[in-house]
Chains A and B, each alone.
Chain A
């Protein structure tokens, strides 16, 4: 396969930048995990809050780089013409680097208490979770989003000719900028500040990013499996509609305890409980679309990551979000490591993996090596996948212990009581973090050097060795996929009940943690294992296609015409 438009090439630099920032971000993650074990580590040089600000901001930045790369790659295809003003996209690339470097330095000012107040605004850094960047960086980021929106919308055909993918991406890049504006004001009241901070954080991930995600996944499925644009369009439409219809008021799940009135508990619990719907929908579609034809996978790593992204969106965002989205469960999980488990699985799983999938799809085409060696990419996938599942486990179980010691027993001495109880899981976190980091390194190395390395003969041989398509490798039926989905929700329900059980007098007053511990101890490992097995099973069934008896050329073309 070849690129059709020269400006698609501009995506490559964003993918490479994404990988660099990803690697730096996980290094910060390892520092944080180590500081959670020993908080005096690097104290005075790189305090936890500065490292955390970098970790969060880089996480957002590399995911956005992945989006930009993917959008720059597909926009000309969708528009059937070159990007307008490619120089703006080149400028955007250097602007992103400039902002990242600037933010790296200004975050350190938090150690001296310097925010750069001027005209009532913090210009250098502002110490709000996820929005740590100061106003200078914030305004530059806004300009960046406007550039992206301008280029994409000017490149696209007239609105009358848009299909659902155009709509998804068009609305997505526009809303990306609009939502960011709510983070650009200093707000003196704490309740109002948090109210608007979640406009950015919640409406980004659960409004805008999910929309961009669902559109890109849909379009990549069209590209990879020649899936029918109409059926993908249907999925994208319902995906977007459900995301917004549930997520708009769903934002209220952040308004339970920030000082806003009680009625939000009703609205938030009700509507955000519906937020997993579009994710189940998208999950189902990747099953259907990957089975529109029976051809072998052409680009295994790209598909691995697309699958990982969709499955982890369901599990990490949908299910682990669902379990703590009710006022009665959130009252316990709120402000503990339980939320961090959700955050990692959802953010890295859904959006991080999408960027990597796009990079794997685009890079071989741009470097003209369609026959690249997929083994490192597959290895990298399994490392980051297992790593992030393990980290979610450590966060979630550690968080459950934290809920008991900190909230039920009310012991608030972290050095003496809380850390002591969470110790095992605090150590487990960097161990799985190391697995994820190794995977990040492997992926970055593979994608940097892809097409510049010799492809060893052994790889070619290994691929052509036939696997029998039976047992674990037999084709996945819709019925079986449904059973897997059901199992995931079963364990999700167990986790929900575990969090609910903290309300029981037996736990809350008598202080017996057995029930919540057992339910969490069954629910989390169950859910994460089912996820791991399902992805393995799905991939095994697709890999077996490579060895299925060669399908006659005629049959191969037929489904593609759909």
Chain B
């Protein structure tokens, strides 16, 4: 048989044995695959994980819908603009995530995380109600607050709704619970200070670390300026815009002395008393178009003069 003319093949017998070998390998591959997903492996699955009322299954859809994998890696796959998200829940915890996700353009401060801890879902999930216990349990949150808190991030603000945030937290809880055979590898290079020093050298370190601490001196002499600082520290701006745009909650621009329609059909004038009450007990009067129970009650978090300062700041905001 001639195969030089290109009309027929001269590798027929070898083709048969190669195919046979390939078949054997396919069988091995299929067997390994079946073993990989048997329940006996005990791998975490999304339908078994939830955060409060939110399901990890739904969170995965949110994660895909926003294409988070287009900037981050998940189990190491994806893009390299931002950090790997597999274990972020385990390191930083749900309250830090809840404070961060609504306005990802800024890093949450300690106060903002503390406000999230008032949420009963957080309480149930973390088993802690004080910020100190929380930071103890999630050292990643402590390191983030200390080094970055109050600074701007490189991530864009995404129009995530309250529910989507809860679902995402459930999903990240699921990925943290997964057994990824020890990846990412454990860090064994010593304390954070030592590692920072190794990365940046002692001199450059001075420029990297301090930033956040300096920012929070109260400006009691100018209540509006103080209020502007407070709304940042407490993470209010995660959900509220300073103009009249609707984020998670209503925008503040032009709110003072306007007439607000409430969910129960009533109307109320946004005077000082109303504003202060909406900060302390936001669920007392729900604005039309918003679900109740979204905003934490700041009653126990803010002192009287702090609430006054925030109200003074709200006076200054125009509609635009």
Contact of B7 among A114, A163, A263, A331 (CB under 8 A): A163
**Binary A-proximity of B35-77 (CB < 8 A = 1, otherwise 0):** 1110001010111000000000100111111111111011111
Contact of A122 among B37, B65, B189 (CB under 8 A): B65
A413-B57 CB under 8 A given contacts A113-B66, A113-B159, A258-B180: no
A42-50, A378-386, A534-542: which lies at the interface: A42-50
Contact of A335 among B37, B43, B73, B208 (CB under 8 A): B73
Indicate if the CB atoms of B3 and A334 lie closer than 8 Å.
Answer: no
Indicate if the CB atoms of B159 and A163 lie closer than 8 Å.
Answer: no
Contact of A256 among B26, B181, B190 (CB under 8 A): B181
Interface centre among B36, B46, B144, B180 (most CB of A within 10 A): B36
A158 to B190, CA, bound (A): 68
Indicate if the CB atoms of A35 and B81 lie closer than 8 Å.
Answer: yes
A395 to B14, CA, bound (A): 41
Chain B residues with CB under 8 Å of A272's CB are none
B15-23, B221-229, B240-248: which lies at the interface: B15-23
Indicate if the CB atoms of B181 and A191 lie closer than 8 Å.
Answer: no
Chain B residues with CB under 8 Å of A255's CB are 36
Indicate if the CB atoms of A48 and B199 lie closer than 8 Å.
Answer: no
A267 to B142, CA, bound (A): 40
Q: Nearest B residue to A166 by beta-carbon distance?
A: B9
A122-B64 CB under 8 A given contacts A234-B11, A413-B147, A414-B82: yes
A58-66, A244-252, A469-477: which lies at the interface: A244-252
Indicate if the CB atoms of B77 and A194 lie closer than 8 Å.
Answer: yes
Indicate if the CB atoms of A127 and B66 lie closer than 8 Å.
Answer: yes
Q: Nearest B residue to A125 by beta-carbon distance?
A: B67
A531 to B8, CA, bound (A): 37
Asked whether B136 is an interface residue with its Cβ less than 8 Å from the other chain, the reply is: no
Asked whether A348 is an interface residue with its Cβ less than 8 Å from the other chain, the reply is: no
Indicate if the CB atoms of B158 and A113 lie closer than 8 Å.
Answer: yes
Chain A residues with CB under 8 Å of B144's CB are 413
A113 to B62, CA, bound (A): 7
Chain B residues with CB under 8 Å of A257's CB are 75-76, 180-183
Indicate if the CB atoms of B81 and A256 lie closer than 8 Å.
Answer: no
Asked whether B303 is an interface residue with its Cβ less than 8 Å from the other chain, the reply is: no
Indicate if the CB atoms of B77 and A248 lie closer than 8 Å.
Answer: no
Within 8 A of B (CB), among A36-55: 36, 39-40, 43-44, 47-50, 52-53
Interface centre among B14, B26, B76 (most CB of A within 10 A): B76
Q: Nearest A residue to B60 by beta-carbon distance?
A: A188
Asked whether A518 is an interface residue with its Cβ less than 8 Å from the other chain, the reply is: no
Contact of A409 among B11, B29, B69, B199 (CB under 8 A): B199
B108-116, B122-130, B148-156, B281-289: which lies at the interface: B148-156
Within 8 A of B (CB), among A98-119: 110-115, 117
A89-97, A416-424, A493-501, A548-556: which lies at the interface: A416-424
Indicate if the CB atoms of B8 and A407 lie closer than 8 Å.
Answer: no
Q: Nearest B residue to A335 by beta-carbon distance?
A: B76
A417-B199 CB under 8 A given contacts A48-B79, A49-B67, A127-B63: yes
A17 to B78, CA, bound (A): 28
A511-B5 CB under 8 A given contacts A48-B71, A249-B28: no
A225-233, A311-319, A436-444: which lies at the interface: A225-233
Asked whether B203 is an interface residue with its Cβ less than 8 Å from the other chain, the reply is: no
Minimum distance in angstroms from A254 CB to a CB of chain B: 8
A510 to B190, CA, bound (A): 8
Indicate if the CB atoms of B208 and A420 lie closer than 8 Å.
Answer: yes
Minimum distance in angstroms from B202 CB to a CB of chain A: 14
A405 to B174, CA, bound (A): 26
Contact of A244 among B11, B22, B157 (CB under 8 A): B22
A47 to B71, CA, bound (A): 9
Chain A residues with CB under 8 Å of B41's CB are 261
Q: Nearest A residue to B144 by beta-carbon distance?
A: A413
Indicate if the CB atoms of A53 and B70 lie closer than 8 Å.
Answer: yes
Asked whether B273 is an interface residue with its Cβ less than 8 Å from the other chain, the reply is: no
Minimum distance in angstroms from B275 CB to a CB of chain A: 30
Asked whether A411 is an interface residue with its Cβ less than 8 Å from the other chain, the reply is: yes
Indicate if the CB atoms of B79 and A52 lie closer than 8 Å.
Answer: yes
A259-B43 CB under 8 A given contacts A49-B70, A113-B62, A407-B185: yes
Indicate if the CB atoms of B80 and A267 lie closer than 8 Å.
Answer: no
Contact of A245 among B25, B75, B190 (CB under 8 A): B25
Asked whether B187 is an interface residue with its Cβ less than 8 Å from the other chain, the reply is: yes
Contact of A127 among B8, B67, B182 (CB under 8 A): B67
Indicate if the CB atoms of A233 and B36 lie closer than 8 Å.
Answer: no
Indicate if the CB atoms of B26 and A248 lie closer than 8 Å.
Answer: yes
Asked whether B179 is an interface residue with its Cβ less than 8 Å from the other chain, the reply is: yes
Interface centre among B57, B67, B144, B154 (most CB of A within 10 A): B67
Contact of B154 among A39, A162, A233, A258 (CB under 8 A): A39
Indicate if the CB atoms of B6 and A229 lie closer than 8 Å.
Answer: yes
A331 to B43, CA, bound (A): 20
Asked whether A508 is an interface residue with its Cβ less than 8 Å from the other chain, the reply is: yes
Minimum distance in angstroms from A341 CB to a CB of chain B: 11
Indicate if the CB atoms of A49 and B79 lie closer than 8 Å.
Answer: yes
Residue numbers of B with Cβ under 8 A of A are: 3-11, 14-15, 18, 21-22, 25-26, 28-29, 32-33, 35-37, 41, 43, 45-47, 57, 60-71, 73-84, 144, 147-148, 153-160, 164, 174-175, 178-185, 187-190, 194-196, 198-200, 208
A233-B11, A259-B180 are known contacts; what are 11 more A-B pairs with Cβ within 8 Å?
A47-B70, A111-B66, A114-B65, A115-B61, A127-B63, A129-B77, A132-B67, A190-B175, A222-B6, A230-B10, A413-B144
A-B contacts, 19 listed (Cβ < 8 Å)? A115-B64, A115-B65, A127-B63, A129-B77, A129-B78, A190-B174, A230-B3, A233-B10, A261-B181, A265-B181, A331-B183, A335-B184, A411-B199, A412-B83, A413-B144, A413-B147, A420-B200, A509-B190, A511-B190
Shortest 5 CB-CB distances between A and B: which pairs?
A49-B70, A410-B187, A335-B76, A127-B67, A257-B183
